[in-house]
Each structure stands twice: as structure tokens, then as C-alpha cells.
Amino acid sequence: MAEAIRPVESSRPGERGLILWLTQKNRAYYLVGYLLLLALALWTLFPVYWQSATSLRADVDLFSPTVTLVPRVLTGEHYEKILGPSYPFLRQLRNSAVVAVATTVVSTLLGAMAGYALTRLRFAGRTVLARLLVYAYLAPGTILFIPLFVMMSRLGLRDNLVGLTLAYLTFTVPFATWMLMGYFRTVPIELEEAALIDGASRWQVLWRIMVPLSGPALVVAAVFAFTLSWNEFLYALVLLQKQQVMTAPVGLAAYVVGDQYYWGQMMAAATIMSLPPLVIYLFGQRWVIAGWTAGAVKD
């Protein structure tokens, strides 16, 4: 089906008349394909549009009984409010950034080290370790959150960004290692041999040859570590109870006061916190898709 709905340039509807065009072989599939695509695009974009449109509307407009798909008046009041000093939002964004950056740096570093050793060095237990990493990556967080909660409480790391970063390493380190192992394997071994013969140490080979050659893979590992930590919810919900240390995803729920939802403010906060992963995705698509196919994504 995919192959069959290929258009022929010269037979677009405008040129020959729709009926004739449709009667041609497989044209119907082509038309259905475009209609479905349009429906999928609407379905995909509507919630995103609605989120940003809500964030720019005045409250009167939000709570009016008639639906206006396009805002009548645009206002920045919700953004002004949540970014103001009386709201914890900026602080929570900062917390999110601190945790995501720390997780990214640590997991990419540990991933590069372990990935190198597991692909290039021979030592007993290598295959067992590789297997353990995959197990760890796939282990669901729902089994770990209670014990991690108790452990972090005992260590005094609850309501603490270090504790949360440690929890995030449980999925980012295995992923980064796995991802980099796959890449390191494709790097020609001769370069390292040459360097070793010239008297470089293993350590130097790793940092002077392997890492510079693996730029794209390191970016993929970093992008995913960052996005997964930035978006994470369950561990943050369990480990952070004080508003001052909350990350943005958990803080979002705080716009609910009793039964009263401040939708404008909430959607403004939601729009701001969607931006980093969205921008990374739009500009780094090549890397995102590379990581995706490496099994990086939690859907």
C-alpha cells in the first residue's frame, strides 16, 4: 500500500480533472492517504494549539459559554503572573534544569567510560555487565519508587535535588552506556591501535580519540538523558514534597487550588516547560531519531 500510492507528477488533479484522476489506478489510495494525513495532523496539533491558545487568553474568555477556537483578545497576564516573584514557577524551572543538566553530564560521562570498556577491553564479567545494563534500563520505575523513597528518606536525600538526580541515573546511565556501546563498535579499531603503538595510554585513547570521534552519539545520549529527566514525573512526585525543591512537572499540579483550576496560568507554565524538549526535538531531529531507533524512547 505504501509503495502503491506514489503519485505521478503529471497527473495532479488540477491538470486533468478530478474524476479522471480518481479513476486512475490506485488514485483512491492516494486520496485516502492525504485525507488521513490531514486528520492525523489535526489530531496531533489540536492539544498543542489549545494549550498555547489557553495560555494567552483572558480569564473572561476562558470561562465564556460559547466556544471561540481563536482567542478574541490575546493577553500575557498569565505569563506575567507565573513568572512573578509570588509564584514558585521560576524556581521550579531552575530545579528542573539543575537536575536535568546534572543527570545528563553524569550519565554521559559514566556511559562513555563503561561503553568504551565494554566494547574495547576484555575482562571477566563483561557480558554479564552488558546484560545487567539492559535489565536495569528496562526495569520499570513503579517497582523502584517505594524502595527509593525509603532509601532516600534514610539518607536524608528526600526533598533534595541530589537524591532526585541519583534516582534519574537508574534509567539514564544504562541507556547512555547502551547507546554508546552501539556507536563505539562502529569506530574503526585501527586508529586506537596506532595511538597505542605511539605510546598513548588507554585513558588518553578514550578521551583523545574515541570521545572526539563519537560526537554525534554523545549528543544523542545527552539529548535523551536531558529530555527524560526534564519530563520525569513519578520519582519527582514521590521524592519532592516541598514546593521550593519541586521540579516543574510536579509544580504544575500546584495550580490546582481545591476544586479551582487556574487553567490560564497552568497552561502558561505548561507551555514554557514544553519549550526545551520541543526546541531540542525540532532542531536536533537527526539525533533524536537516531536515539529513537536505538530504543531510547519511553512512550
Residues 63-82 that bind another protein (CB under 8 A): 63-67, 69
The piece of 16-24, 73-81, 121-129, 214-222 that touches another protein (CB under 8 A) is 121-129
Contact in structure between 167 and 152 (CB atoms under 8 Å): yes
Grid cell for residue 126:
563483561
Give the residue from 172, 196, 19 showing the smallest Cα distance to 11.
19
Q: Which is nearer to another protein, 85 or 124 (CB)?
A: 124
Footprint on residues 129-158 left by another protein (CB under 8 A): 129-136, 138-151
Q: In the bound complex, what is the minimum distance in angstroms from residue 233's beta carbon to another protein?
A: 5
- Which of 81, 91, 202, 219 binds another protein (CB under 8 A)? It is 202
Footprint on residues 90-109 left by another protein (CB under 8 A): none
Dihedral over alpha carbons 226, 232, 236, 238 (to 10 degrees) = -150
Q: Which is nearer to another protein, 88 or 249 (CB)?
A: 249
The gap between the terminal CA atoms of the chain, to the nearest Å, is: 27
Q: Per-residue x/- marks for another protein, 40-59, CB under 8 A?
A: xx-xxx-xx-xx--x-----
Rg (CA), the chain: 25
Examine residue 87 and tell whether it contacts another protein (CB under 8 A): no
Footprint on residues 209-228 left by another protein (CB under 8 A): 227
Size of the site for another protein (CB under 8 A): 115
Contact in structure between 161 and 199 (CB atoms under 8 Å): no
Q: Any bridge partners for residue 298, and if so which?
A: none
Q: In the bound complex, what is the minimum distance in angstroms from residue 295's beta carbon to another protein?
A: 7
Q: In the bound complex, what is the minimum distance in angstroms from residue 73's beta carbon to another protein?
A: 16
Footprint on residues 155-174 left by another protein (CB under 8 A): 166-167, 169-170, 173-174
C-alpha span between 71 and 75 (Å, rounded):
10
Q: Which is nearer to another protein, 85 or 234 (CB)?
A: 234
Q: Which is nearer to another protein, 22 or 150 (CB)?
A: 150
Give the residue from 41, 60, 50, 43 showing the smallest Cα distance to 270.
50
Give the helix/strand (H/E) hosting 257.
Answer: strand 256-257
CB contact set of 210 (below 8 Å; sequence gap of 6+): 112, 116, 120, 184, 187, 192
Examine residue 122 and tell whether it contacts another protein (CB under 8 A): yes
Examine residue 297 and tell whether it contacts another protein (CB under 8 A): yes
